[in-house]
Amino acid sequence: MFHWEPTNSQRGNQLELRFRAKTMVTVMVMQVLAATFILVYTVFSATDAKCNARDSHVPILAPLPIGFAVFLVHLATIPITGTGINPARSLGAAIIFNKDLGWDDHWIFWVGPFVGAALAALYHQVVIRAIPFK
């Protein structure tokens, strides 16, 4: 989970601190949403049954792009959110931490992944599946 303590030089302007904190929550939501979108879209693309070997689709190699997507998503999101793309893992950490700081922004780790996954599914069905395969 994320927690930020202002330094002594930053304590003077409380309005600036609230703005920064609100901006950070927005950044966290967008980052978790985008990371989940990338991962779910990669899974859908790598395992789509409508593609075949003629279209450069080899199902036995599907774990490679999926694993690479997980790797990249973790590298990108660890510094900000601690990689909150799995709501169950985020819930476990919040239960163990069990303090106010663990629950304040916990909704981010539920809303972001669910919205990101829904957008990836919608994009795959409406945009990608609408393109005729050769």
State the 10-residue block means of pLDDT for the chain, 134 residues long.
50 46 81 94 85 63 90 89 83 75 78 94 85 60
User: Over the chain, what HEC string results?
Assistant: CCCCCCCHHHCCCHHHHHHHHHHHHHHHHHHHHHHHHHHHHHHHHHCCCCCCHHHCCCHHHCHHHHHHHHHHHHHHHHHHHCCCCCHHHHHHHHHHHCCHHHHCCCCHHHHHHHHHHHHHHHHHHHHHCCCCCC
Q: The pTM is what?
A: 0.75
Give which of 83, 90, 40 is closest to 65, Cα–Cα: 40
Question: What's the token pair of residue 120?
Answer: 């990836």
CA dihedral 41, 46, 50, 51 (to 10 degrees): 130
pLDDT of residue 108: 86
pLDDT of residue 130: 73
Residue 105 backbone phi and psi in degrees, to 5 = -110, 25
With tokens 């080899």, the residue in question is 58
Q: Where are the domains of the chain?
A: 59-134
CA distance 86 to 27: 17
pLDDT of residue 37: 96
pLDDT of residue 22: 66
pLDDT of residue 95: 81
pLDDT of residue 5: 52
